[in-house]
Structure formats: C-alpha cells, structure tokens
C-alpha cells in the first residue's frame, strides 16, 4: 500500500490512517510531515485512533512510528490494545517504539523545564529506526505543569518547529471540548486550546449518552491545504479499531449498475415485477403487523441461498431460531442453509446499542461473510425515541453502502397503526430511497380479513398495478389471480363463495345445455322420420300418377283402334293396307 497520497489539485501529500472511512472524508488521510490535533473527552477513542494510525503505518505503509505516552504507562496501553489484532507487541520489537514520559504522581516541581531533552532523545531514535510517524498522547498532561500560557505556547511552538524540521507526520492527542459554541464551552475550554490554531489538521471526537444509548461522532474541524467532509460522522470502536460509515461523495456513483434480475422467491411476484428484483437494488416491504413482511423476506432469503449466494438475515423482532421455526410453517426451510453456512442470521438481542452501532456491526458481518444479499426485518426499529432523527440517516447510509457493494438489500418496515395514519409509512420515510416498494395490507370484508399485495413502485421495471391476494399455506407462498365482481375485488371466503356459485351455475348451465341438445336431437329424428314418410308417400303418388298416365294412354290407343276397326267392318273406311 502507498504510504502517501498526493491530494488532487495540490502538492500536499497525505498519510493513510488505517481508520476505515477517515481516509475517504479527508481525501487520503492526514497531512504528511505536519501535525494533526486529536481532541476529545475521556473514552472518546483518542488513544485507539493514534495506535491504529501507528500500527497501519508500520504494517502496511513501511513507516515505523514512535508513541510518546504522557498519561498512561506504555505497557498498559499495549495490553489494552491487544484485542484489536494489530500485533503491537511484535511491531514493538521492530517498527514501533514506545516511550514512557508521564510525570511521576509525587513530582514536586521546582523551577522551569522544557521539552528539549526529550526531543533530543526522540531525534536520535528517529534517526536510528527511520521513523516517519509519531504520536504525543495526552500532551496536555505535561503542558498543565507549565506555569503560564506563555510557557505553554513556547513549548508547543518549540515542538511544532521540531516536527517540521524532522518532517514527521504527527498526532497530538489532547483533552478538551473541541469546538467552542456556548459560554459554557468557553469556560470548559482548556488553556492549551491554542494548539488548534497551530495544528494543520484538527479532528474532534465526541462521546455522549442520549437516553441511555452511547453515541460516538467524529468531525474534521480544519484541514489546511485540503478539502474535507465537514459533517459529523458517527463511528464505533470495533474489534478492528475505529470504524466510520460514510456516504459516497458527490460524483462517486455506483461503479456497476446491473441489469441482472434476482428472484423474490415467489414466482408470481417475479412476474408482476417483470422478472424479479434488480441485482444490487434496495427493496422496501411495508405493512401492518401480521401482513407477512417477514415471510416475503424469508422467501427472498431462501431463493438467494438456493442460488448459492451468501445472505445475512437480521431480525429485530424475534430470535433467529423462532424465525426459522415460523417460516417453516409456510414451506420456507432455512435451517439447511444455516447448516451449510450460506445463511447467517442475527437477532436484535445480540446487536445492542444505537442505530449507528447496528449499521457498523451489520456492515462488518456482511463483509466478513462476503454477503450478496441482506435482509433487515424491520428497519423501522431504528426509528425509536432513543435513536431519533439519526435512524433515517443510518438507513440512508445502509442503502448507500449496499449499493456501492452491489448487495441486494431487502428491508421491511412497520406501518403506523394509528387509525388516521394507516396509509403512512413509518417515520423513517425511506420509501423515496428504495428502488422497489411493495406494500402489504389487509382487505376486510364480511367479517373476514385477507392479506393483499401491491407494488407501489419499481424503478426501471414495467410492473403490475394490480392488488393481489397473498396466500400463505403449508405448500408455500403464492399470489392469487385478480378477481373482481361488480367492480369490487373479492378475496378469501367471499371469493371462494363467488367462485363456487359460478361453478354451480356453470354446472346447471351444462346440464340444461345437454338436455336441450337431447330434445333437439329427438325432434330432429322425428322430423327425419316424418320426412322419410312424406318422401315415401310422394314416391307412391308419383308412381300412381305415372300408372294413371300409362293406363289412360293405353285406353286411348285401344279406343282409337276399335273405332277404326268398326268403321272398317262397316265398309266406311278402306283398310290401311289397301289404301297404301
């Protein structure tokens, strides 16, 4: 890893800190060869920050470092920091040097003193080990021993000149209120607050408790020669040290926008969405209690695990084992995926603290397991009295981070049950940030309540505008076809009764049709018989007519012959042969 980074557009070089998120908001880290003042109250994380800075430089940047402890014994500091995995004891032998410079508790001061002696020793050590980073932890402890402000200023400027001469990247930690915004702050400000004007970079760490919940925030107060994020950034102290979760900077859009679709786990819902959710999209499922929000989250998890995608399921409503048991009642089997390691489930009972701590722990777990999909059930838990407005901020940063990682995020959210706000989403109001918003509801009719599903929006997809009945059974989860009667959508028993009535009516109509067909066939047969009889009668008449005609012709010939013969016998006519 590069030990220094040139700030864009300037010649200022920056040293990577190793503090997740800090390098991003400062554009690369702390100013190289200059002094950074780290101000904060007790327990705010100043010493951890400084140790993390030194450990990162020694391990990853080939920059040995020196830690000057003015308040706490170096051995105790190393023991306290052993749980962070920085291997400081190993680095101490080769790349880190710790010096105890804390005054003795029974010190009796006589006369003035300065830092020249200590700086001479440090200069020799810098030359010996090639140190590039140095930390003066709790410098205010020594400054407090000086008689007046003038002496304190003199020693601080002496230290600053020494640091510039040796081109050391330095962190000075100090107690103090940081920013002076009220008269009370002015009274609480330490007499060495002028160090903020001397330092090239000043960072303020705040640790407070609100409604019984610990809140930690970091703010870069100044940074000479460089742009930086001026906002207050929440952070937490994890097993890796300080971690910040920051939103993407303007202009740093998502690197990869996928057109790939992933299944919701419900085939008919995929059809309504035009093929499923987009990979890397944020899906919000809202609804009243019992509308099957967790169930739809479970179908998504099962589908993801069947694709072989590692998935994290975070439940704030129930224990993980209870969720697995409940989902199995509707044909969703998550236990097999838990056993295979493809799925990891986390219960709210094991994630305690502020909304910021939730976010950082979720982020850490997802990165550790390489999750491709995450389900938060419900995300509205973050909007509590304790978390206040920060709940929305945390949800927004979760969405922002998941998109930057290409993770498909599904969040459920509980709707407000207040009668006049039945249609409103909870105060998180993250629906505008979601790519797909599915709303679940109850349809109450004739004393029966049935679940319904509607897609409120789905960016970039042609989606159905129908309200569908959501059916849960032992065989799984499905959506019923849309059914209307008289312009009204029917669900549940009303739909069943209407369909049954239609089936019965269709059966009656079928029987009636068959009977009519038989009657018509009989009439047709009767007509055919009558037709054949008439045809026979017609033929008889025709024969009779022909016989009558023949008989008449024969009789006429016979009469003519007899008449001729009579005239011949009477001698009135000549016989035919004689005439010829």
552, pLDDT greater than 80: yes
If you search the block for the tokens 């005054």, which residue do you land on? 103
Contacts of 90 (CB under 8 A, 6+ apart): none
| Mean per-residue pLDDT, 433-444 | 88
Q: Tell me, letter by letter, the H, E, C secondary structure of 180-215.
A: CCCHHHHHHCCCCCCHHHHCCEEEEEEEEEECCEEE
DSSP state of 260: -
Mark 100-135 as b/e (b = at least 16 C-beta within 10 Å). ebbeeeeeeeeeeeebeebbeebeeebeeeebbbbb
CB 203 within 8 A of CB 228: no
pLDDT value, residue 56:
93
pLDDT value, residue 46:
93
C-alpha to C-alpha distances, 491 to 266, 443, 482, 502, nearest whole angstrom: 19, 8, 9, 15
If you search the block for the tokens 């640790």, which residue do you land on? 207
Query: If you average pLDDT over every residue of the chain, what do you get?
Result: 81
Q: What number of residues does the chain have?
A: 580
| Mean per-residue pLDDT, 403-408 | 90
Distance, in Å, from the CA atom of 134 to the CA atom of 101, rounded to the nearest integer, reads 14
| Mean per-residue pLDDT, 168-194 | 62
Phi, psi of 196 (to 5 degrees): -65, -30
| Mean per-residue pLDDT, 481-485 | 62
pLDDT value, residue 186:
46
What is the Cα 527 distance to its own chain's centre? 76
pLDDT value, residue 381:
74
431, pLDDT greater than 70: yes
DSSP state of 20: B
- Residue 390: pLDDT band (50, 70, 90) is low
If you search the block for the tokens 């700086």, which residue do you land on? 119
pLDDT in tens, 228-265: 888 888 888 888 888 887 765 544 554 568 889 999 99
573, pLDDT greater than 90: no
| Mean per-residue pLDDT, 2-20 | 71
Q: What percent of the chain has pLDDT over 90?
A: 30
385, pLDDT greater than 50: no
Q: Which two tokens stand for residue 53?
A: 């800075």
554, pLDDT greater than 70: yes
- The kind and range of the H/E element at 522 are helix 492-569
CB 473 within 8 A of CB 330: yes
CB 468 within 8 A of CB 272: yes
String of DSSP letters for 78-141: HHHTGGGS--HHHHHHHTEEEEE-PPPTT----S---SHHHHHHHHHHHHHHT--EEEEETHHH
Which of 75-79, 328-332, 466-470, 560-564 has the weakest average pLDDT? 560-564
CB 263 within 8 A of CB 390: no
Q: How many CB atoms lie within 10 A of CB 528?
A: 10
426, pLDDT greater than 50: no
112, pLDDT greater than 70: no
């Amino acid at each position: 890893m590069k030990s220094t980074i040139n700030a864009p557009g300037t010649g200022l070089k920056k040293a990577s800190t190793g503090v997740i998120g800090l390098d991003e908001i400062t554009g690369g880290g702390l100013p190289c060869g200059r002094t950074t003042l780290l101000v904060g109250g007790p327990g705010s994380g100043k010493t951890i920050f400084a140790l993390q800075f030194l450990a990162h430089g020694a391990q990853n940047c080939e920059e040995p470092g020196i830690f000057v402890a003015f308040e706490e014994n170096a051995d105790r500091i190393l023991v306290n920091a052993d749980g962070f995995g920085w291997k400081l004891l190993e680095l101490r032998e080769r790349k880190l040097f710790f010096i105890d410079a804390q005054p003795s508790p029974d010190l009796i001061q006589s006369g003035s003193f300065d830092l020249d002696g200590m700086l001479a020793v440090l200069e020799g050590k810098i030359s010996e080990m090639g140190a590039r980073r140095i930390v003066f932890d709790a410098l205010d402890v020594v400054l407090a021993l000086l008689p007046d402000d003038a002496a304190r200023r003199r020693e601080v400027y002496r230290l600053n000149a020494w640091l510039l001469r040796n081109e050391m990247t330095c962190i000075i930690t100090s107690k103090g209120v940081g920013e002076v915004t009220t008269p009370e702050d002015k009274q609480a400000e330490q007499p060495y607050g002028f160090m903020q004007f001397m330092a090239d970079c000043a960072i303020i760490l705040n640790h407070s408790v609100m409604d019984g919940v610990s809140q930690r925030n970091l703010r870069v107060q100044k940074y000479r020669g460089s742009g930086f994020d001026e906002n207050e950034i929440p952070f937490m102290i994890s097993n890796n040290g300080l971690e910040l979760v920051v939103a993407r900077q303007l202009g740093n859009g998502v690197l990869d926008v996928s057109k790939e679709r992933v299944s919701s786990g419900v085939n008919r819902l995929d059809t309504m969405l035009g093929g499923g959710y987009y990979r890397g999209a944020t899906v919000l499922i809202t609804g009243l209690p019992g509308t099957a929000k967790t169930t739809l989250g479970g179908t998504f998890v099962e589908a993801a695990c069947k694709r072989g995608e590692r998935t994290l399921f975070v439940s704030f409503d129930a224990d993980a084992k209870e969720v697995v048991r409940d989902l199995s009642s509707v044909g969703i089997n998550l236990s097999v995926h838990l056993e295979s390691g493809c799925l990891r489930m986390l219960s709210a009972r094991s994630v305690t603290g502020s909304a910021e701590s939730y976010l950082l722990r979720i982020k850490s777990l997802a990165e550790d397991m390489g999750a491709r999909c995450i389900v938060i059930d419900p995300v509205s838990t973050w909007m509590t009295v304790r978390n206040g407005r920060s709940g929305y901020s945390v949800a927004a940063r979760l969405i922002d981070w998941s998109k930057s990682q290409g993770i498909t995020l599904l969040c459920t959210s509980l709707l407000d049950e207040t009668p006049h706000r039945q249609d409103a989403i909870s105060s998180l109001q993250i629906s505008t940030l979601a790519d797909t918003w599915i709303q679940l509801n109850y349809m109450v009719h004739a004393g029966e309540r049935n679940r319904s599903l509607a897609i409120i929006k789905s960016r970039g997809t042609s989606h159905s505008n129908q309200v569908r009945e959501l059916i849960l059974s032992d065989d799984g989860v499905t959506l019923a076809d849309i059914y209307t009667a008289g312009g009204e959508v029917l669900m549940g028993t009303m739909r069943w009764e209407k369909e049954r009535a239609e089936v019965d009516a269709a059966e009656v109509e079928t029987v009636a049709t068959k009977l009519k067909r038989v009657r018509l066939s009989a009439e047709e047969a009767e007509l055919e018989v009558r037709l054949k009889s008439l045809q026979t009668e017609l033929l008889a008449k025709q024969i009779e007519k022909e016989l009558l005609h023949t008989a008449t012709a024969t009789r006429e010939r016979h009469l003519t012959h007899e008449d001729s013969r009579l005239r011949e016998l009477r001698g009135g006519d000549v016989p035919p042969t004689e005439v010829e």
